[in-house]
A and B are shown apart, each in its own frame.
Chain A
């Protein structure tokens, strides 16, 4: 027993030493390539970020790597240990697949109750950040530290100076613990006031992450105009936010179809990295969200269905990254027709909706129509939301490009969701908001 214990301890120490040695050689920085474009230098190799956020569900990392993605980001440090395929830790699987990780370290938000004037809270947060870096700095799957996500307030103009000042302290803590990796902080949007605050209070930050949706393609231009000279990345982008979309008379946002969303992903990545002002400073982009999420609707931001089928947004991003379409593409929605779209209807009324869709490889398509109650959540900044109830029994004729539904008996706001599957791992989505009076 003693012998076994001694051998086990010896092997554990050797493993630690190996990791430490490996980590010693692991050096990441931001630098310009020969064309003057900022890139991530990972152990001597300059790479543009072809990134995505999320990528946490089992199987998503494999899909991401297969499609050509090379960088993911997480929001909280605990995500590194999330179990993925085969029970492996997220960070280990990412490393195995050659995917670099920007490891997010969550920083308290004032809107959630964190008080940057409270010494005890601030002290505890500093200890948590230091401990997180100390724990993970030897893992060579981590390329960049992502310090905070919209901690200045998603709707803030300039943000509280105390938040920025504390960000600087935390960035210095990270650098003390790990001088071998750069630090990026992530803010909401590219307002000049926020950039000026960062310039004034946070000289230790190596790069800026900008979360932007409708305005993402112009972010580089805004940063340049505000005087930002270091590199930046678009750390969340994709489809126009529901807060930016046109609305029905009762305020429900019209959601683009997956085909329309795909175009946004493609255009934004291309514009911000290749065309618009500031492109030379752009390290790359992280698309939101390589997975599934309930936020306003069950389909607004996800690039996959909950059942893991790939949506056209993925194909468009691959095209933007590589110039080529993937071999097996998602269906295309040409048009959705419903006279009741954006209108009030009587209860218990038969309604008809139809779609014109095609499959790029000519595969037969399956259509699934279902009424879902409109979400009553009014979250801000991506906070978690509940999944509203659905009413499959109200779809009288389904599995066809044309459906017949019965409007619910109860007055209220609803959406008719359409999911089209090609039976080969791909899908397309659309929905139609309506009101029962």
Chain B
């Protein structure tokens, strides 16, 4: 019986460990994984990856945020990699929380994004940069209708 419990617990642990593969732990990798999971509607995994990015890079992101007075020019965005990725991950996390029906937590996450990493930018495959904090602000107002 004990052996069976141990085997099951081990199998469960292995499943979860292999499910969350942080790769090289770079902010860009984690952000990309978070986006992919959000796209697949795997909200829990999206939050896991987003949280990892936020945990590892928030301090650096805040340092970068402090150095700016406005959104940086397009050509300079790569210099603010931590700011951009943490801002994007906060947005992804909030969206995932909304999908799980956790509106209060989503609102708090959007707020954190607009207050702590306001100048983050994110590349849209359609060919421009968008601003997670502005998108967050829109979402916060949209949520008034819910």
Interface presence of B141 (CB below 8 A): yes
CB-CB under 8 A from B139, the residues of chain A are 267
Chain A interfacial residues counted at CB < 8 A? 17
Please give me the residue from chain A that is nearest to B144 by CB atom: A266
> Are A271 and B137 closer than 8 Å at their CB atoms?
yes
Chain B interfacial residues counted at CB < 8 A? 10
> Are B141 and A267 closer than 8 Å at their CB atoms?
yes
Report how far A269 CA is from B18 CA in the complex, Å.
46
Interface SS majority for chain B:
helix
Contact with A along B135-146 (1 / 0, CB 8 A): 001110110110
Report how far A60 CA is from B134 CA in the complex, Å.
33
Report how far A275 CA is from B138 CA in the complex, Å.
11
Interface presence of A319 (CB below 8 A): yes
Interface presence of B15 (CB below 8 A): no
Please give me the residue from chain A that is nearest to B139 by CB atom: A267
* Nearest CB in chain A: distance from B115 CB, A: 15
> Are B126 and A267 closer than 8 Å at their CB atoms?
no
With a 10 A CB-CB cut-off, give which of B137, B142, B144 has the most chain A CB atoms.
B142
Known contacts A266-B144, A316-B145, A319-B145; A271 and B126 CB within 8 A of each other: no
Report how far A264 CA is from B126 CA in the complex, Å.
20
Give A228-285 interface residues, CB cut-off 8 Å to B. Answer: 243-244, 247, 262-264, 266-268, 270-271, 275-276
Interface presence of A401 (CB below 8 A): no
* Nearest CB in chain A: distance from B141 CB, A: 4
Interface presence of A299 (CB below 8 A): no
* Nearest CB in chain A: distance from B99 CB, A: 10
CB-CB under 8 A from A319, the residues of chain B are 145
> Are A244 and B142 closer than 8 Å at their CB atoms?
no
Q: Which of A218, A244, A262, A263 contacts B134 (CB 8 A)?
A: A218
Interface presence of A426 (CB below 8 A): no
CB-CB under 8 A from A190, the residues of chain B are none
Offer 26 A-B interface pairs, CB within 8 angstroms, sorted by A.
Answer: A217-B134, A217-B137, A217-B138, A218-B134, A243-B126, A244-B126, A247-B126, A262-B145, A263-B142, A263-B145, A264-B138, A264-B142, A266-B141, A266-B142, A266-B144, A267-B138, A267-B139, A267-B141, A267-B142, A268-B138, A270-B141, A271-B137, A271-B141, A276-B137, A316-B145, A319-B145
User: Which 3 A-B pairs rank lowest in CB-CB distance, beginning with the nearest?
Assistant: A263-B142, A267-B141, A267-B142
